[in-house]
C-alpha cells in the first residue's frame, strides 16, 4: 500500500484550519521536503531549522520574507520603480550589511526604550477596551489586536495616531506584494501603496533632520557605530517600515491566536487566571503552540546537503518555525498546550541566530499586558456564536485571524 503524496499547501482550507498533522507527517517522512507546486524546500525538524539559520555562509537571508521568488508582473514592477528599492533591510540582508544595520538599529531600539513603554501600553490597552466593553460583542482583531501594536509603534516612532488606518492598509499591501498571489490589478494598487508608504517615511525622516528629537526615527538618524557609516535616509526609511510591519502584524496574530488557544483549553486559562505568575510562560507557550510567523525563507548560496538531502544552489527554502516548535524530539508532548512549560530559551517563534527577532521584548511586553487584561475586563469572554465568526488570514507564511468575533457578559447599569 502506498500512502498519498504529501501536499504542502498552507493556503488550502484544511491546512489553514489545522496544519499540524501535515507538519508532523513532514517531520516524520520528509523532513527536508521539496514542494513542486511552490518551488520551495520546506525544513520542518527543529535541529535542521537551527542548522540552516546558523549556517549563514550557505543559507542567505535574501528574499527572507518572500514566499515566492517568481518575478512580479511587469505593470507591478513599473509602479514599484517609481519608488525606492524595498531591500535591503534587516530581515533580508547578510554579512556586514546586516551587522552594521543591526548595530545601528539596536542603538535606537534599546531595552530601556522598550521598558519605558510599559505604562503607556497599559493605558492603551485600557483605552481600547473602554471603547467596546459595553457592547458585549466585538471583532477583537478589528477593535483591538491591530490597534494595540499600532499605538505602541506610532508612540515609539512619534507619528500621529490619525495615520494608523492608512499605515495599516499600506502594511497589508506590503505583505500582499511580498506574497504576490493576487491578480495584477490588485497588485498594482498594492504597489501604489508601497510607494506611498516609502514617501511618507522619507518625508517623516527628512522633517527630523537637525532637530533634537526623542522618538525612534530621530534616534535612528543619530545612531553611530565605531567602524561604520551612520544610517542613510533611504536605509532608515526601510528599517522603519521593517519595524512597523514586523512589529504589528505579528503581535496582532499572537493576540488572536492567544485568545482562541486559551478559550479552547479552559483548564489552562483557569490556571493562569488563578496564578498570574504563569503569564510569562503562557505567552511563550502561545507563541510555541501557534507561532504567528509559521516560517520564513532563505536562499541557498551553494550546493549543499541537509539531513542527507541534496539541495542545489539557488534553491528557495522555508525554515519552518511552527513545525520545529511542535517537534516531538525537542518538546515532550509537543501537541499539548501547557502553560507551565518552560520553553522560552528553546522555542523558535522569534527565530534564532543573527536574525533572531529584535522586537521580542516588545512583543512579550504587549502580550503579557493585553491577554490577561482582556479576560479581566470582559467577564465570561467566549467565542461568539454564529457563522464565520473566526476567519483566518491568508498569508502563506503566517498564522492568524482576519476576523475573530468574541462575546462577553455586560452588566445592566
Ligand atoms: C509575537 C510577535 C513577533 C514574532 C512571532 C516575531 C517573529 C520574528 C522572527 C521569526 C524573526 C526572524 C526572521 C528570520 O530569521 O528570518 C523576526 C525578526 C525580526 N523581528 Fe520579529 N517578531 C515579532 C514581533 C516583533 C516586533 C514587536 C518587532 C519590532 C517592533 C519585530 C521586529 C523584527 C525585526 C526588525 C526582525 C529582523 C531582525 C534581523 O534580521 O536582524 N518583531 N521576528
Looking at residue 181, its pLDDT comes to 86
pLDDT tens column, 88-135: 999 999 999 999 999 999 988 888 889 999 999 999 999 999 999 999
Largest pairwise CA distance in the chain: 72
Q: Please tell me the distance from the alpha carbon of residue 374 to that of residue 363, in angstroms, as a whole number.
A: 16
- Single out the residue of 293, 383, 288, 337 nearest to residue 67, CA to CA: 293
∠ at Cα 375 (370, 377), nearest 5°? 90
Q: Torsion-angle region of residue 388: left (phi > 0), alpha (psi -120 to 50) or beta? A: left
Q: Number of H helices and number of E strands within the chain?
A: 17, 11
Give the fold, CATH level 3, of 13-407: Cytochrome p450 (1.10.630)
pLDDT tens column, 205-251: 999 988 878 899 999 998 888 777 888 999 999 999 999 999 999 99
Going from the Cα of 259 to the center of ligand 1, the distance in angstroms, rounded, reads 21
State the chain's mean pLDDT as an integer.
Answer: 95
Question: Could you please report the per-residue DSSP string of 287-336?
Answer: HHHT-SB--EEEEE-S-EEETTEEE-TT-EEEE-HHHHTT-TTTSTTTTS
pLDDT tens column, 311-348: 999 999 999 999 999 999 999 999 999 999 999 999 99
154, 163 contact by CB (below 8 A): yes
Percent of the chain topping pLDDT 70: 99
Q: Is the CB of 253 under 6 A from ligand 1?
A: no
Going from the Cα of 128 to the center of ligand 1, the distance in angstroms, rounded, reads 24
Residue the block writes with cell 535616509: 233
Decide if pLDDT at 83 tops 50: yes
Which residue has its alpha carbon closest to ligand 1 atom 7? 350
The residue extents of the domains of the chain are 13-407
Going by pLDDT thresholds of 50, 70 and 90, the confidence category of residue 296 is: very high
Which residue has its alpha carbon closest to ligand 1 atom 18? 357
Q: Is the CB of 350 under 6 A from ligand 1?
A: yes
Q: Which atom of ligand 1 is closest in space to residue 65's alpha carbon?
A: 16
Question: Could you please report the per-residue DSSP string of 334-397?
Answer: TTS--TT---TTT--TT--GGG--TTHHHHHHHHHHHHHHHHHHSTT-EEPPSTTSEEE---TT
Going from the Cα of 80 to the center of ligand 1, the distance in angstroms, rounded, reads 25
Write out the three cell numbers for 19: 496544519
φ, ψ at 348 (rounded to 5°): -115, 25
Q: Which atom of ligand 1 is closest in space to residue 297's alpha carbon?
A: 16
In testing the pocket of ligand 1, which one of 246, 286, 295, 364 has its CB within 8 Å of the most ligand atoms? 246
Write out the three cell numbers for 146: 491591530
Strands 32-35 and 59-60: unpaired
CA dihedral angle for residue 85, residue 318, residue 171, residue 142, rounded to 10 degrees:
180
Looking at residue 413, its pLDDT comes to 59
Q: Please tell me the distance from the alpha carbon of residue 267 to that of residue 255, in angstroms, as a whole number.
A: 19
Looking at residue 2, its pLDDT comes to 55
- Single out the residue of 294, 360, 300, 340 nearest to residue 321, CA to CA: 294
Which residue has its alpha carbon closest to ligand 1 atom 14? 355
Looking at residue 1, its pLDDT comes to 45
- 179-189 average pLDDT score: 93
pLDDT tens column, 18-72: 999 999 999 999 999 999 999 999 999 999 999 999 999 999 999 999 988 888 9
Which residue has its alpha carbon closest to ligand 1 atom 36? 357
- Single out the residue of 241, 252, 240 nearest to residue 293, CA to CA: 252
pLDDT tens column, 345-355: 999 999 999 99
Amino acid at each position: 500500500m502506498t500512502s498519498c503524496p504529501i501536499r504542502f499547501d498552507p493556503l488550502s482550507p484544511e491546512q489553514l484550519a489545522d496544519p499540524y498533522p501535515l507538519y508532523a507527517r513532514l517531520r516524520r517522512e520528509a523532513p527536508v521536503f521539496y514542494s513542486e507546486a511552490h518551488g520551495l524546500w520546506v525544513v520542518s525538524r527543529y535541529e535542521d531549522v537551527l542548522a540552516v539559520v546558523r549556517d549563514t555562509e550557505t543559507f542567505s537571508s535574501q528574499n527572507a520574507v518572500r514566499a515566492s521568488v517568481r518575478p512580479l508582473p511587469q505593470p507591478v514592477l513599473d509602479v514599484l520603480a517609481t519608488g525606492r528599492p524595498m531591500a535591503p533591510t534587516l530581515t533580508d540582508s547578510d554579512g556586514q550589511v546586516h551587522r552594521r544595520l543591526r548595530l545601528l538599529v539596536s542603538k535606537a531600539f534599546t531595552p530601556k526604550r522598550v521598558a519605558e513603554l510599559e505604562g503607556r501600553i497599559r493605558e492603551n490597552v485600557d483605552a481600547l477596551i473602554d471603547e467596546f466593553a459595553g457592547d458585549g460583542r466585538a471583532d477583537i482583531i478589528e477593535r483591538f489586536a491591530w490597534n494595540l501594536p499600532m499605538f505602541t509603534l506610532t508612540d515609539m516612532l512619534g507619528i500621529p495616531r490619525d495615520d494608523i488606518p492608512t499605515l495599516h492598509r499600506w502594511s497589508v499591501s506590503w505583505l500582499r506584494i511580498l506574497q504576490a498571489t493576487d491578480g495584477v490589478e490588485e497588485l498594482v494598487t498594492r504597489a501604489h501603496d508601497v510607494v506611498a508608504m516609502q514617501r511618507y517615511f522619507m518625508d517623516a525622516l527628512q522633517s527630523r533632520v537637525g532637530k533634537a528629537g526623542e522618538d525612534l526615527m530621530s534616534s535612528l538618524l543619530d545612531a553611530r557605530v565605531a567602524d561604520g557609516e551612520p544610517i542613510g535616509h533611504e536605509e532608515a526609511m526601510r528599517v522603519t517600515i521593517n519595524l512597523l510591519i514586523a512589529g504589528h502584524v505579528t503581535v496582532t496574530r499572537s493576540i488572536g491566536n492567544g485568545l482562541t488557544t486559551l478559550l479552547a483549553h479552559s483548564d489552562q486559562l483557569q490556571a493562569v487566571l488563578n496564578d498570574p505568575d504563569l503569564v510569562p510562560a503562557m505567552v511563550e507557550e502561545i507563541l510555541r503552540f501557534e507561532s504567528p510567523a509559521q516560517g520564513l525563507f532563505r536562499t541557498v548560496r551553494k550546493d549543499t546537503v541537509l539531513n542527507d538531502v541534496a539541495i542545489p544552489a539557488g534553491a528557495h527554502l522555508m525554515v519552518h518555525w511552527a513545525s520545529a516548535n511542535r517537534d516531538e524530539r525537542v518538546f515532550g508532548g509537543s501537541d499539548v498546550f501547557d502553560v507551565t512549560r518552560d520553553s522560552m530559551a528553546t522555542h523558535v517563534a522569534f527565530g534564532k541566530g543573527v536574525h533572531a527577532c529584535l522586537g521580542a521584548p516588545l512583543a512579550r511586553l504587549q502580550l503579557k499586558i493585553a491577554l490577561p487584561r482582556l479576560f479581566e475586563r470582559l467577564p465570561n469572554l467566549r467565542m461568539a456564536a454564529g457563522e464565520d465568526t473566526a476567519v483566518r488570514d491568508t498569508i502563506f507564511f503566517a498564522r492568524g485571524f482576519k476576523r475573530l468575533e468574541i462575546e462577553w457578559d455586560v452588566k445592566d447599569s
